Amino acid sequence: MQTNLRETDANLDAAHLVGQLADMRANVLLMGMGGITAYYPSQIEFHSASPYLPADRDMFGDVLQAAHAKGIRVVGRFDFSKTSQAAFAAHPEWFFRKANGDPVIYNGLYSTCINGPYYREQALKILSEALDKYPVDGLFFNMFGNQSRDYSGNDVGLCHCAVCRRKYAQMFHKEIPDTPDDDYRKFMFIASREVAASFGDLIHQKRPRAGYFNYVQESTDGIMSESNTAVERPLPLWPYSASDNVNRALNSEPGKMPVNLCMQFVDYWWRFATVSRDEVALRLWENVANGGALAFEVNGTLDQQDRQAVEAAKPVFRWLAQNEQYYSGERSAARVLLLTGPSSTGQTYSQRSYRGLFRLLTEEHIPFAVSSNMRWLGKRDFDLVIAADWAPPELRAYAENGGRVLVVSPREPQFPVAQVVHKWPDRKGYFRIRDRSLFPSLRDTDLLMLDGPYTELSDDAAAPLTLIPPSMIGPPEKVHVDWKDTQQPGIVFRPAGKGTIAWIPWDLGALYYRESLPAHAGLFRDVVDRLYPARQLRTNAHPLVEMTWMQQGDRKLLHLINLSGHSQTGYFAPLPMAGIRIRLAGRFKQATSVRMPGDLPVHVEGGYSTFTLPRLTDYELIVVN
Ligand SMILES: [Zn+2]
C-alpha cells in the first residue's frame, strides 16, 4: 500500500494510519520519507523537513515503529529530482539547466540533474543518515532521470548543465541535441544506471535485508511499474496494463519482485478523483495472477475524499491475505515466450505490434511469458518463441537447436530467413489464401486485409498466402477490377537446423490491436497451431477471460480473470460466466477452486486432464495438483 504523502500530511496520526493498514490487511507500507520533503528531522544541509512537521515530531519514525509493532513492513520513498531555492542559491552546480542556461522551476522547486553532484554526492549523504537512523525494510525512488516534461506537461528540453555538456562531449564528441535521439537516450540510460547502482550499494551495505525499488531493472531488488490513466492518452485503453507490466518484469528479471502500482487517480490534475472500482479490482487481480505483488497507491493518506478506489481495494486485499499461501513465489509455467524489444538499446519498438500479439495470445488462452531479455533462452524450455518487432540473432541458434520461432513484424530479423526484395512503408492491399489446408479458421474468407508496412520477400509460387497490391477503390463500378495477384509471400516457413522459423513480414499485431478482425485472429491461431500443435491449455472460455498458468513449488495455479466488464472507456462489473471447460496438457489428480471453494472432478485421458469451472464472477484461482 503506497500513501503518496503531501507535505501537509507530515503531522499525521501514526496509530490511525497503521490501524487502517492492519484493517485492510496490507503488510507493506510505501510512504514518503525524504528528498523533496523530509518527514523526519534531518541534519543534512538543504534536506528540509516539511513545514507542517512540528519541531519535536518524528512522524516517519512514529509510523515505522507503529507499523513494525503490527508486523507491517515500511519502505521509504525518496524523490531527488527537485529541491529548494535555498539549495539552488548555494549550489547552482547541482541543477538541471535548459538550453539557455535557465533552471527548471516548478511550484517553487528547482529540478536537479542526475549527472550533477546532488544525485552523485548529496543524495548519498541524505540516504546514509536515513539508513543509519531508521530500520527501514526498503527504499523506493521516484523520478529517476531527468524529466523533459514537468507535471503540467510543459516541455523543458534536455539538461545543458556543465556536467552533462562535458560528459556528453566526452562520450559522443558532439553537443547535446535539442530533442532526445538514440545517443542521448543511451546517455541518460547510463546516467540513471550509474546512480541506481550507487544507491543500491549504499542500501545493501547499510541495511542488507532492505529491499531496493525503483522503475529501473538494474541494481534493484524489485521492479516497479504503474497501471495508470491520463486523459490525453490515445485510445484504446489497455485493459491488460497490470498483466503486461508484471508478466514482463517477472520474466525479464526472474529473480526480482514485480511491484505494479495501481494508481487510483485519473490524471495529475485530478489526483483526488478515482478511476472506476472495477478497473481498480481488475488491475489488482491481474497483478497477483501474473506473480506480482498486490500494490495499490493513493495520494495523501487513506482518508480519501473520493473513497471508491480504497473501498474497491479493501476486499481484494483482505481476500488475498486470507489466501496468501498461493501468492508467493509464483513463476510462469507458460511454454510460449513473447519477446519484446529491450528498453536499454535506445531503439524504439512498436507498442501496437506488441499489444496486438499480447491480446491475440490472451484471447486464445495461450499461456505466455513476456520477456525483453534474451538471457532466458536456453535456461528454461519453451515450445514457441514469438518475436514482436525485435528478432535478435540468438533466435537463429535457438531454432537450430530445435526451437520454433514465429517472427511477426515488417522489421527484418537480425539473421537470414528469406530474401528481402523491398520494404514498403505502407501497403493497402490484401493477402489471398492459397493453401486452404493451412488455415482451417479462415474457411469463410479468401482474403485478409493488409494496411501498413510490408516487407516484400522474393516470389514464391508455393507461398500459402500471397499479396494483392493496392488497386482501384472507387467508384463501385471500378472497385478492384484492376487487381492482380502476385507471388509475394505473406508468410514464410523455413526449416532451421532441427527447428522451424516462420516469418509474417507485415504488422499483424498492430493491425489486430487497431481493428480486432477475426480473420487476423484466425490466421494467428492457425499459424500457432501449425508450429505448436500440443498447446498447454484448451478451453471454451470467452475471449475476455484472461488465464495465467503459474508454477508454485510442486503445484500449478490457473488464474482466471473476467474482463467482460470492460467496454470503450468504461470498466463495469464483469458478467458472471458459467460452465468453463478446461483441458490441460499433463496428467493431474486434483483441481480445487479457491475463491468459490470447490473440488472440480478431473477426467484424465491420454496426456490431458479436463475439468469444468461451474461459475466465474470476477476472478478465480484453481489449484492443480
Ligand atoms: Zn545535467
> DSSP assignment of 469-520, as one string?
------SGGGTTTT------BS-EEEEETTEEEEEE-B-HHHHHHHH--HHH
Q: How far is the CA of 126 from the centre of ligand 1 (A)?
A: 20
Give the DSSP letter of residue 13: -
Q: How far is the CA of 585 from the centre of ligand 1 (A)?
A: 55
Q: How far is the CA of 111 from the centre of ligand 1 (A)?
A: 10
* Grid cell of 561 as nine digits: 480473470
Q: How far is the CA of 123 from the centre of ligand 1 (A)?
A: 15
Q: How far is the CA of 191 from the centre of ligand 1 (A)?
A: 10
Contacts by residues 69-74 (CB-CB < 8 Å, ≥ 24 positions apart) = 69/18, 70/18, 70/21, 70/22, 71/27, 72/18, 72/21, 72/22, 72/26, 72/27, 72/28, 72/29, 73/27, 73/28, 73/29, 73/137, 73/138, 74/28, 74/29, 74/31, 74/136, 74/137, 74/138
pLDDT given at position 64: 98
Neighbours of 344 (CB within 10 A): 16
Short-list 221, 213, 261, CA closest to 77? 213
Spell out the residues 6+ positions from residue 359 whose beta carbon is closer than 8 angstroms to its own: 240, 512, 513
Name the one residue in this structure whose C-alpha cell is 492491399: 429
Mean pLDDT by 10 residues, the chain (625 residues): 97 98 98 98 96 97 98 97 96 96 96 97 98 98 86 92 97 94 92 95 97 88 94 94 96 91 96 97 98 97 97 98 96 95 65 95 98 76 92 93 96 96 97 97 97 97 97 97 98 97 97 97 98 96 98 97 97 98 98 98 96 98 98
440: exposed, middle or buried (Cβ count in 10 Å: 0-12, 13-18, 19+): exposed
Q: How far is the CA of 188 from the centre of ligand 1 (A)?
A: 10
Short-list 437, 395, 438, 398, CA closest to 414? 395
Q: How far is the CA of 35 from the centre of ligand 1 (A)?
A: 18
* Grid cell of 132 as nine digits: 543509519
Summarize the chain as % helix, strand, coil (round to 5): 30, 30, 40
Q: How far is the CA of 94 from the centre of ligand 1 (A)?
A: 8
603-605 and 570-571: which strand pairing? unpaired
Q: How far is the CA of 441 from the centre of ligand 1 (A)?
A: 56
Q: How far is the CA of 259 from the centre of ligand 1 (A)?
A: 29
Q: How far is the CA of 202 from the centre of ligand 1 (A)?
A: 23
Q: How far is the CA of 573 from the centre of ligand 1 (A)?
A: 48
Q: How far is the CA of 100 from the centre of ligand 1 (A)?
A: 13
Q: How far is the CA of 170 from the centre of ligand 1 (A)?
A: 14
Q: How far is the CA of 114 from the centre of ligand 1 (A)?
A: 6
Q: How far is the CA of 167 from the centre of ligand 1 (A)?
A: 9
Q: How far is the CA of 97 from the centre of ligand 1 (A)?
A: 7
Report the alpha-carbon distance of residue 441 to residue 541 in Å, rounded: 17
Q: How far is the CA of 41 from the centre of ligand 1 (A)?
A: 29
pLDDT given at position 128: 98
pLDDT given at position 587: 97
Q: How far is the CA of 168 from the centre of ligand 1 (A)?
A: 10
Q: How far is the CA of 324 from the centre of ligand 1 (A)?
A: 45
Q: How far is the CA of 164 from the centre of ligand 1 (A)?
A: 4
Q: How far is the CA of 268 from the centre of ligand 1 (A)?
A: 26
Q: How far is the CA of 30 from the centre of ligand 1 (A)?
A: 29
Q: How far is the CA of 218 from the centre of ligand 1 (A)?
A: 21
- Predicted TM-score (pTM) above 0.85: yes
Q: How far is the CA of 227 from the centre of ligand 1 (A)?
A: 29
Q: How far is the CA of 121 from the centre of ligand 1 (A)?
A: 14
Q: How far is the CA of 572 from the centre of ligand 1 (A)?
A: 46
Most distant CA atoms of the chain, gap in Å: 86
Q: How far is the CA of 132 from the centre of ligand 1 (A)?
A: 29
Kindly tell me the sign of the dihedral angle through the C-alpha atoms of 18, 24, 25, 28: negative
pLDDT given at position 265: 96
* DSSP secondary structure, 149-169, as one string: B-TT--B------HHHHHHHH
Q: How far is the CA of 162 from the centre of ligand 1 (A)?
A: 7
Q: Three-class SS string for 386-444?
A: EEECCCCCHHHHHHHCCCEEEEECCCCCCCCCCCEEEEEEEEEEEEEECCHHHCHHHCC
pLDDT given at position 39: 98
Give the DSSP letter of residue 231: T
Q: How far is the CA of 222 from the centre of ligand 1 (A)?
A: 27
Q: How far is the CA of 142 from the centre of ligand 1 (A)?
A: 18
pLDDT given at position 376: 67
pLDDT given at position 285: 98
Chain centroid to Cα 81, Å, comes to 23
Q: How far is the CA of 447 from the centre of ligand 1 (A)?
A: 54
Q: How far is the CA of 6 from the centre of ligand 1 (A)?
A: 27
Q: How far is the CA of 96 from the centre of ligand 1 (A)?
A: 5
Q: How far is the CA of 112 from the centre of ligand 1 (A)?
A: 8
**Phi then psi for 592, rounded to 5 degrees?**
-125, 125
pLDDT given at position 161: 97
Q: How far is the CA of 146 from the centre of ligand 1 (A)?
A: 8
Q: How far is the CA of 221 from the centre of ligand 1 (A)?
A: 27
pLDDT given at position 348: 65
Q: How far is the CA of 194 from the centre of ligand 1 (A)?
A: 14
Report the alpha-carbon distance of residue 4 to residue 272 in Å, rounded: 12
Q: How far is the CA of 166 from the centre of ligand 1 (A)?
A: 9
